[in-house]
Structures are given as structure tokens and as C-alpha cells.
């Protein structure tokens, strides 16, 4: 499937609450393929949410397996439909970036371990526990589904937001 253009802040769709997927059909499968292709095309991207390509459905993909921070601890490619975090523990501050906010990175506090439920593309309910970088990436993408950008969670606008030197 084709790589989709990524919406950039302050596009209004990025601030919308996404709708639950009621039926997993070919349209959802195509959306997931588009998300995966778009993620792989993005420089250093480890995830993308449907809202970032203009679709307000609760679908996102994450794959930290090729990133140096996630190589040792990951579930591979996660294609998540209607994801829901059911448990959190730990807290750490990590520097985050986003394809929708390409000119900045920021320090964000996130849980270091999460448990979540989601439907996979076959409709099967999955429950996983993710930790460290993978947990952060999942929380970042799930925020997109709630209309929240990392800019909304930066620890301090004065000391925790940085202009990106290169992308």
C-alpha cells in the first residue's frame, strides 16, 4: 500500500479524539498497511497513528525492533486496533520526537511499563506487557488516538522543548 502524507501540527485532526473501530474489514486492513508503510518511510519512525494520516479511528502501529533503544526488548511489529492501557508502573523522562511535529523534540514523563489490551488485525484480543522504549512508543501513539501530542506532555516548555537539529 502507498505511503501516506503525515499531517503536521497544528492540523485540527491531530487534536481530535479518534473513534473506536466497530468492524475489522478490508478498509481497516488497508489502513494498517498504509500505517506500516508510512512508519517505515519516516526517518527513524517507530510508530504512527491513524489520526496522523487523517483517519480518526483508534488504530496505530509500533515497531521498535530496529531502533537502538528497542532492539533488545520488543514485541516486533504491533498492529493495534482499539488499544487500551490497563496497567502502568514506573516513571521516566525520555526525549520524544514525532513525524507530526518534525522541528522539535521534547522531554516527556511516561510509565516505564504498561499492560495493554488491543485487537490484532484478525480481531483477536491480545494482552501484552511492554516496557522501556517500547512502552514509551506505544503510549506516544496511543496519545495520538486521544488527540494528545507530545507537546502537550513536555515536562517544561522552557527547559524541556528542543529545536531538532536534523531529521
- Beta strands 78-89; 92-98: pairing state: unpaired
* Alpha-carbon separation of residue 142 from 51, 116, 125, 159, 165 (angstroms): 10, 11, 17, 25, 26
Strand order of the sheet with strand 92-98? 92-98, 101-110, 161-163
Give the DSSP H/E element, type plus range, for residue 26: helix 26-41
C-alpha to C-alpha distance for 112 and 116, rounded to whole angstroms: 13
- If we measure between CA atoms, which residue out of 89, 27, 105 comes closest to residue 59? 27
For this structure, is 113 an active site residue? no
How many angstroms separate the CA atoms of 150 and 144, rounded?
9
**CA dihedral sign of residues 58, 59, 65, 68:** negative
- Residues forming the active site: 141
Amino acid at each position: 500500500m502507498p505511503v501516506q502524507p503525515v499531517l503536521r501540527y497544528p492540523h485540527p485532526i491531530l487534536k481530535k479524539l479518534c473513534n473506536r473501530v466497530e468492524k475489522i474489514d478490508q478498509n481497516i486492513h488497508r489502513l494498517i498497511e498504509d500505517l506500516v508503510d508510512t512508519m517505515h518511510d519516516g526517518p527513524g519512525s517507530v510508530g504512527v497513528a491513524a489520526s496522523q494520516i487523517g483517519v480518526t479511528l483508534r488504530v496505530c502501529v509500533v515497531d521498535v525492533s530496529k531502533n537502538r533503544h528497542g532492539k533488545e526488548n520488543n514485541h516486533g511489529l504491533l498492529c493495534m486496533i482499539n488499544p487500551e492501557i490497563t496497567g502502568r508502573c514506573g516513571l521516566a523522562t525520555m526525549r520524544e520526537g514525532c513525524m507530526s511535529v518534525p522541528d522539535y523534540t521534547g522531554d516527556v514523563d511516561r510509565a516505564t511499563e504498561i499492560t495493554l489490551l488491543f485487537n490484532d488485525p484478525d480481531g483477536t484480543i491480545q494482552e501484552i506487557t511492554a516496557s522501556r522504549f517500547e512502552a514509551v512508543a506505544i503510549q506516544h501513539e496511543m496519545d495520538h488516538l486521544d488527540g494528545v501530542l507530545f507537546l502537550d506532555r513536555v515536562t517544561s516548555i522552557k527547559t524541556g522543548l528542543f529545536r531538532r537539529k536534523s531529521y
